[in-house]
Amino acid sequence: MADQETPGTVPPAPAAPNTSGQGAAAVVPDEIKRWSWAAFLMNFIWGIGNKTYIALLTLIPVVGIVMIFILGAKGNEWAWRNKQWPSVEEFKRVQKIWAWVGLGLLIVGFILNALVLTLGIGLFIASEGIETGLDGAFDDFEMEFDEEFGDDF
């Protein structure tokens, strides 16, 4: 009796077949067709891990800047087509991990750059070289000015 449907209920739709990894023949589920922060942030590394080797174009100057945005827009679709995935849920879980790692590396990069810049500026200001360099530059300017205009000023 459990196999009989209750009148007025709609049976669940059968799950779409998993066609991931079949290249151009793969049917990309609608829930995957969205912006890929993973591909945008991790670009060529993400491309290697997801068998989407077109991402290596990000290594070419100028082309790479445009390519990261194309990867963001099409990355999920390409990753679904180029690699076999057990399910849509697993695909989304893995892509979320890639995105979080990319964001983490971006934040670490900003922090390291800020530290290097701060330390570099601090060391430059604290060094005696800046004082000697500026004093010497001013002395040269003063000497040239005196030669050009004399003591008239």
96-128 residue pLDDT tens: 999 999 999 999 999 999 999 999 888 888 776
> Which H helix or E strand runs over 135?
helix 128-149
Residue 2 belongs to a domain: no
Q: Check residue 57 and give its pLDDT.
A: 97
Asked, for residue 6, whether it belongs to a domain, the answer is no
Residue positions counted in the chain:
153
Distances (CA, A) of 34 to 71, 72, 77, 98, 143: 11, 9, 8, 15, 66
Q: Provide the token pair at 32.
A: 């995957």
Closest alpha carbon to 79 in 111, 118, 42? 42
Instruction: State which amino acid sits at residue 61.
Output: P
Question: Which residues neighbour 82 within 8 Å (Cβ) at sequence distance 6 or greater?
Answer: 21, 23, 50, 51, 52
The answer to whether position 1 is within a domain reads: no
Is 16 a domain residue? no
Domain membership flag for residue 115: yes
Q: Does 128 fall in a domain?
A: yes
Report if residue 127 sits inside a domain: yes
What pLDDT, on the 0 to 100 scale, is given for residue 125? Answer: 81
> What sign has the CA pseudo-torsion 133, 138, 143, 147?
positive
Domain of residue 95: give its range: 27-141
Q: What's the pLDDT score for residue 116?
A: 95
Average pLDDT of span 49-72: 96
Specify whether the CB–CB gap between 89 and 60 falls below 8 A.
Answer: no
Residue 146 forms part of a structural domain: no
25 near 31, Cβ under 8 Å?
no
How many separate domains does the chain show? 1
